[in-house]
Amino acid sequence: MRTCLLSATMLLLLVSTSQANLIVNGSFDNFTIAGTDADFGGFIRYFSPPANSHIMGWTISGTPSDGAPNNVDLVHTFFYPSFTGSPGSQSLDMEGSVGASGLIFQSFATTPGDLYNLSFEYANNPQPGPTSSGSMNVLVTGSMTLLDQNVTHTGSAFSNMNYQLFSQNFTADSATTILQFEALTHSGFGIALDAVSVNSVTTAVPEPTLMGPLGAGLVALLFAARCRRRKPQLAK
């Protein structure tokens, strides 16, 4: 019986797949300071133009739809904590200077027809006070628009940022997909963004390429059931 269970477990392990985050530097913890970037000690301001990728994996480029200047703040102050709150960790304030609306994006490889999950944590810059608020657009595009949604967060405080989880699925329609975040307000105290992740998920109707692994998993379960039913034979 023990041998049967071990064999079934091994089969199941063979068909399981790891889910790696397709987003580079989703926590915004890896960065450089160069060019027109301004280091204010507790935060670093990134400007565009010129377009730059000083926050590793992300491009700060383009003009927001409201025509405001494009800049963001990488924040690492103790009174404005990131989602993890660990020392040295960062969050991204989508509005840098007063009057600015940040716009950042990242492209990643996808398989057309496959289902993916986008998730991130968001709060808002608490500095204006308890009624502070920020809004941001989330846009995922391939050949066409795959996801287009606005989020708003209100009432973050220095003692409790109250990060909220965003989680939505989308189906890729091209080999390259672009994730873009754009601030919709420009008070200089915007959405605090952190823990961005895109992962492949299992589709409701299996693709032909998945039938083999799913079939192997079913065989493993049937094998284990058969072993449980098998009775020891009496010695002759």
Which stretches within the chain are classed as H helix? 2-15, 208-229
Q: Residue 54 has what DSSP assignment?
A: -
In a shared domain, residues 227 and 131? no
Question: Same domain for 5 and 25?
Answer: no
CATH number of the structural domain spanning residue 185: 2.60.120.260
Quick one: 63 and 147 in the same domain? yes
List the domain range (segments joined by +) for residue 156. Answer: 20-200
| List of E strands, the chain | 38-39, 43-48, 59-60, 70-75, 91-93, 103-109, 115-124, 133-141, 145-154, 164-171, 176-183, 191-200
Number of domains in the chain: 2
Q: How many residues does the chain have?
A: 236
Do residues 217 and 141 share a domain? no
| pLDDT tens digit sequence for 164-207 | 999 999 999 999 999 999 999 988 999 999 999 999 996 544 44
Dig out the tokens for 148 from the structure.
Answer: 């287009």
Rg (CA), the chain: 23
13 and 67 part of one domain: no
111 and 44 assigned to the same domain: yes
- Overall pTM surpassing 0.85 (yes/no): no
Q: What is the pLDDT of residues 32-41, one digit of tens each?
A: 999 999 999 8
Amino acid identity, position 13: L
Query: Are residue 141 and residue 234 in the same domain, yes or no?
Result: no
Asked whether residue 83 falls in the same domain as residue 111, the answer is yes
